[in-house]
């Protein structure tokens, strides 16, 4: 029962209910004409961020960095990376997968834990670009203290992956809001 690679790929993809044809169509729209003929092209981050699903997302740059497999760490995505992105954000990805990737997205300095600097950048992303929507330093400090008080179980001043997953698993609407559909 020898199966070809593409069929196996489709089998796995169909398990994730990600429509490969749709994803491929949207991805090739980002490529220029001569790039379309090359296999395994990388699309730069700026072009990926023109997708409407990502354009309004405050974490768009982090998402590109996390799913990118390029050596230069410039956030560029191949088609496989793009599919990884879609399957992690799809409806049928499990809570563990989503929380794992969410943790990596929120970890701005890539050190494996969410410390005060990460949390501050996170809150600033969430409150928008303009000055009137940002929090004051006092409010920020209090907010970060509250977050650490709630989530940091071992009181080391940072939130690690298991603490993060513990908090997220209790949240009723994480799974439904951590979704991107093309």
Partner 1 sequence: MRGRDTEQKEGTVIERKRRGGKGGEDEHQEQEKEKMSYRPGMRKERRAGEREQRIIKNQKEERGTRRSREKLKNEIRKSTREPESLSPEELEKLKEAVDERKKLIQGLRGKPWSMKKKLVTLRESQEFVEKYEGALGKGKGRKLYAYKVMMAKKWMKFQRDFENFKTACIPWEMKIKEIESHFGSSVASYFIFLRWMYGINMILFGLTFGLVMVPEALMGRPYGSIPRKTVPRAEEASAMDFAVLWDFGGYAQYSVLFYGYYNNQRAIGWLKFRMPLSYFLVGVGTVAYSYMVVIRTMARNANESGVGDDNSFNFSWKTFTSWDYLIGNPETADNKFASITTSFKEAILEEQESRKDDNIHLTRFLRVLANFLVLCCLAGSGYLIYFVVRRSQKFALDGLDTHTWWERNEVNMVMSLLGMFCPMLFDVISALENYHPRVALQWQLGRIFALFLGNLYTFIIALMDEINLKREEEKIVKFNITTWEASLYNSTVSENSTGPPITIQPADVPRGPCWETMVGQEFVRLIISDTMTTYITLLIGDFLRAVLVRFLNYCWCWDLEAGFPSYSEFDVSGNVLGLIFNQGMIWMGAFYAPCLPALNVLRLHVSMYLQCWAVMCCNVPQERVFKASGSNNFYMAMLLVILFLSTLPAIYTIVTIPPSFDCGPFSGKKRMFDVIQETLESDFPAWFSKVFSSASNPGLVLPFILLMVLAIYYLQSTSKSYKEANVELKKKLQTQNEENKKKNKRAALKAQMDLEEARKAASQTAEQQKNNNASLQDQEGETELCIKMKQDVFNHGMKRNIQCKQKTK
Tell me which residues in 44-83 interact with partner 1 (CB under 8 A): 52-53, 55-59, 69, 80-81, 83
Q: How far, in Å, CA of 44 to CA of 81, rounded?
A: 12
Does the footprint of partner 1 cover residue 172 (CB under 8 A)?
A: yes
Residue number, 28 or 112, with CB nearest to partner 1: 112
Q: How far is the CB of 47 from partner 1 (least distance, A)?
A: 17
173 binds partner 1 (CB under 8 A): yes
Q: What is residue 126's three-state secondary structure?
A: helix
Rule CB under 8 A: say whether 27 interacts with partner 1: no
Per rule CB under 8 A, is residue 170 in the interface with partner 1?
Answer: yes
97: number of Cβ within 10 Å:
16
Which phi and psi angles does 114 have, rounded to 5°? -100, 105
Report, in this order, helix, strand and coil percent for the chain, each rounded to 5: 60, 0, 40
Using DSSP's 3-state secondary structure scheme, residue 77 falls into strand
Choice from 22, 28, 50, 146 touching partner 1 (CB under 8 A)? 146
Single out the residue of 24, 46, 110, 117 in contact with partner 1 (rule: CB under 8 A): 110
Give the residue from 124, 102, 107 showing the smallest Cα distance to 180.
102
Token readout for 17 is 């209910």
Based on the shown chain and the rule CB under 8 A, indicate whether residue 112 belongs to the binding site for partner 1: yes
106 is a contact residue toward partner 1 (CB under 8 A): yes
Residue 40 binds partner 1, judged by CB under 8 A: no
Return the range that interacts with partner 1 (CB under 8 A); candidates 28-36, 39-47, 145-153.
145-153
């Amino acid at each position: 029962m020898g199966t070809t690679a593409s069929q196996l790929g489709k089998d796995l993809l169909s398990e994730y209910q990600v429509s490969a044809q749709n994803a491929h169509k949207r991805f090739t729209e980002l490529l220029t004409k001569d790039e379309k003929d090359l296999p395994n092209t990388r699309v730069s981050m700026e072009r990926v961020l023109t997708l409407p699903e990502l354009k309004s997302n405050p974490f768009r740059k982090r998402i590109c960095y996390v799913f990118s497999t390029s050596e230069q760490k410039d956030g560029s995505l191949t088609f496989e990376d793009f599919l990884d992105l879609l399957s992690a954000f799809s409806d049928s990805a499990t809570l563990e997968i989503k929380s794992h990737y969410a943790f990596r997205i929120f970890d701005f300095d890539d050190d494996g834990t969410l410390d005060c600097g990460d949390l501050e950048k996170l809150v600033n992303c969430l409150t928008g670009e303009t000055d009137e929507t940002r929090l004051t330093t006092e409010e920020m400090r209090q907010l970060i203290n509250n977050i650490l008080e709630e989530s940091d179980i071992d009181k080391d001043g940072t939130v690690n992956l298991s603490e993060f997953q513990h908090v997220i698993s209790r949240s009723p609407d994480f799974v439904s809001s951590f979704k991107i559909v093309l």
